[in-house]
Chain A
Amino acid sequence: GAGVSQSPRYKVAKRGQDVALRCDPISGHVSLFWYQQALGQGPEFLTYFQNEAQLDKSGLPSDRFFAERPEGSVSTLKIQRTQQEDSAVYLCASSAEELNYGYTFGSGTRLTVV
């Protein structure tokens, strides 16, 4: 596609529910990043994939967060047993080359945990 596509755009989850957020990167993009943006803050790094390999997951806040990119294209961020502090916008970004700094971001998924 022309840009990075994320779905759903909005997700309301009851506390304790599991959620799955999807990212479709630009076709052919090698690198894929997930960021979490809390209200009034800048995006915070969660994890990074190069093709299907998860090279950095140092930003995942707890073992309730899990990301995968099994075929090196679409990625899914899964949050188990959601808590209120997980409420945020989850942004996905992709880039064509390794360590390319001009990442293209999707519009994000706004997760609200009630």
Chain B
Amino acid sequence: DQQVKQNSPSLSVQEGRISILNCDYTNSMFDYFLWYKKYPAEGPTFLISISSIKDKNEDGRFTVFLNKSAKHLSLHIVPSQPGDSAVYFCAAKVNTGKLIFGQGTTLQVKP
């Protein structure tokens, strides 16, 4: 039973354009949603998060949108840069502290 799903295994965008990564979840009890970025042979690095009581959070080039009625969140990166090429994981936090991760989306930003 996959509570957090990233249905697109990969995404390719041109440098300077917008990257949109999507994530769906099933459990209404999640209190925070997070995005992590992972390079090969490294651990995931925290990018940005959003509380379940908000619908948008912005940090520089990164914006996360939360649509609670649709149980959907998305990460927007604009403008995309080649250094953004990595695997992006969506994660949801339960109140005990543990994170439930999606399967990941591999983003490739072409110069």
* Interfacial residues, chain A to chain B (CB-CB below 8 A): 4, 31, 33, 35, 40-45, 48, 55-56, 59, 91, 93, 98-99, 101-108
Bound-state Cα–Cα, A39 to B27, Å: 25
Q: Smallest CB-CB separation from B100: which chain A residue?
A: A45
Bound-state Cα–Cα, A101 to B45, Å: 12
Q: How far is the CB of A21 from chain B (nearest CB, A)?
A: 14
* Interfacial residues, chain B to chain A (CB-CB below 8 A): 4, 6, 32, 34, 36, 41-46, 49, 89, 91, 93, 95-104
Bound-state Cα–Cα, A99 to B51, Å: 13
Q: Which of A40, A44, A59, A106 contacts B43 (CB 8 A)?
A: A106
- Known contacts A48-B97, A101-B49; A40/B44 CB under 8 A: no
* A–B complex contacts, Cβ < 8 Å, 18 sampled: A33-B97, A40-B104, A41-B104, A42-B4, A43-B99, A45-B98, A48-B96, A56-B96, A56-B97, A56-B98, A93-B43, A99-B95, A101-B49, A102-B34, A102-B46, A103-B99, A104-B46, A105-B44
B contact residues around A42 at 8 Å (CB): 4, 6, 89, 91, 101-104
Bound-state Cα–Cα, A91 to B46, Å: 14
Bound-state Cα–Cα, A45 to B93, Å: 11
